[in-house]
Amino acid sequence: MRYISTRGQAPVLSFEEAMLTGLARDGGLYLPETIPQMTLDDIAALAGRPYEDIAFRVMRPFIGDAFTDADFTEIIAKAYATFTHAARAPLVQIGANHFLCELFHGPTLAFKDFAMQLIGQLFQASLARRGETITIVTATSGDTGAAAVEAFAGLDNVALFVLLPRGRVSEVQRRQMTTPTAANVHALSVDGHFDDCQALLKDMFNDFGFRDGVRLAGVNSINFARVLAQVVYYFSAATALGAPHRTVDFTVPTGNFGDIFAGYVARRMGLPVGRLVIATNQNDILHRTLQTGAHVKHGVTPSISPSMDIQVSSNFERALYYAYGEDSAAVAHEMQALSTEGGFTVSQGALEALRETYASGSASEAETSATIAAAHRSTGEILCPHSAVGVKVADEHLGSNPMVTLATAHPAKFPDAVEDATGLRPPLPNRLGNLYERPERVTEVANDLGAIQDLIRERIEH
């Protein structure tokens, strides 16, 4: 299996190389050259299997000869052993034909654990075999950083730097990143919002001297291995609801477009996915794009669903690549306009292609709160604000297919928003123990590429 860049100008890589590389050297994102197919029989055979089994069968064709079957089986087993629910991604019914897929039973209580726990294991195996040491820098809107810390803390051959937007993550999220004691973990609190953090990260990748000097690797969803891990729960959820004999719709609370793009990959592999509904908060660039074709950045407005406070949605580039008929020159051209002019208009053909796959909607702050309250009253389920954005938008898109809304985080990560909506303060699960009492360790930095690069170089020399 070979991996190519959405912009067409970067070296073609193996799965393992693409995983260790992160951003392509032409600024694009890696994708498999062809998407492996599963037959209806292959898909039918997944129904009722343990999650780990489904994970093996879905991901195996993408990884080529990077790992033996035995090693890959063991890696998957270790990755999900830390989850507290036997189903890993259980379904809960919340309406006549509407289901939540709970993705928050991992160690940091958000869906990011599904991919990060797996790539933590994949990186370890790969780096040990190659005898290499790397520096991982990750930008986070709150949950990626926490999941990365959990996955990479204490590893000998990895230094991890987390760029978090100061004052724009919840207290639980911040503490998950600042309280671990492992010496290889560095939380950097950036004076800026998530888009600033992600821009800094991309600038580091595009500075080849720095990139090669520190052996930079990335675990944001620009890394295809992360997207791949997220393809699995589309299969587990859909087959539990009758796929491949039934078509299933999904609604996905969306920021950087990684999670919903995984649904697109599942669909391309042959899973009967009907509509993929993009649910955004008031930072609704993707909803506006689907409605009008104009992909134009506005400012980022903080919300009660902070993990989706994003305007530059990296993985949308992958969606565009397919919408533009795999024309990497066209993608490179639009991405250039996005960075120099703040936006572009999606071509008519590409917009039609996007609308064949995706629908969209957004939720205001008041609608998000009202949805948390209404879901609690009618079903007893306590939604996190991101999942509530999803449920609100899903309710507007219910049809004859079963609808699955991805519940992306545990409500206890956002206790203030949940308490405001329901009057109940969700308790922190035991596994997070004394999070509120532990001392924090964080370095405040300006939104200044050179200064952050110097700090990273200095820290990894010790």
Q: In whole angstroms, what is the distance from residue 253 CA to residue 408 CA?
A: 7
> Contact positions toward ligand PLP, by CB under 6 A?
110, 112, 143, 221, 253-259, 307-308, 386, 408-409
The residue among 46 and 227 lying less far from ligand PLP, judged by its C-beta, is 227
Q: CB within 8 A of 50, min separation 6: which ones? A: none
The residue among 254 and 283 lying less far from ligand PLP, judged by its C-beta, is 254
> Which residue in 239, 226, 227, 228 sits closest to 51, CA to CA?
239
State both tokens at 23. 């951003």
Per-residue b or e along 17-30, where b marks 16 or more CB atoms closer than 10 Å to that residue's CB: ebbbbbbbebbbbb
The residue among 148 and 159 lying less far from ligand PLP, judged by its C-beta, is 148
CB 368 within 8 A of CB 305: yes
> Residue 78 CB, nearest distance to ligand PLP (Å)?
23
> Residue 220 CB, nearest distance to ligand PLP (Å)?
9
What's the chain's Rg over C-alpha atoms? 20
> Residue 16 CB, nearest distance to ligand PLP (Å)?
23
CB 250 within 8 A of CB 404: yes
Residue at token pair 């693409």? 18
Catalytic residue among 112, 202, 392, 413: 112
| Length of the chain as a residue count | 462
> Residue 120 CB, nearest distance to ligand PLP (Å)?
17
The residue among 135 and 307 lying less far from ligand PLP, judged by its C-beta, is 307
> Which residue in 107, 160, 153 sits closest to 137, CA to CA?
160
State both tokens at 33. 């050259």
The residue among 268 and 459 lying less far from ligand PLP, judged by its C-beta, is 268
The residue among 127 and 418 lying less far from ligand PLP, judged by its C-beta, is 418
The amino acid present at 132, given as its one-letter code, is E
DSSP-assigned states of every residue in 28-66: --EEESS-----HHHHHTTTT--HHHHHHHHHHHHHTTS
Distances (CA, A) of 267 to 57, 262, 358: 15, 9, 12
Q: In whole angstroms, what is the distance from residue 398 CA to residue 242 CA?
A: 17
> Which residue in 433, 461, 458 sits closest to 188, CA to CA?
458
Is 112 an annotated catalytic residue? yes
> Residue 244 CB, nearest distance to ligand PLP (Å)?
25
The residue among 173 and 453 lying less far from ligand PLP, judged by its C-beta, is 173
CB 338 within 8 A of CB 295: yes
CB 263 within 8 A of CB 256: no
Three-state DSSP class for residue 216:
strand
> Residue 85 CB, nearest distance to ligand PLP (Å)?
17
> Residue 39 CB, nearest distance to ligand PLP (Å)?
28
Hey, which residues are catalytic here? 112
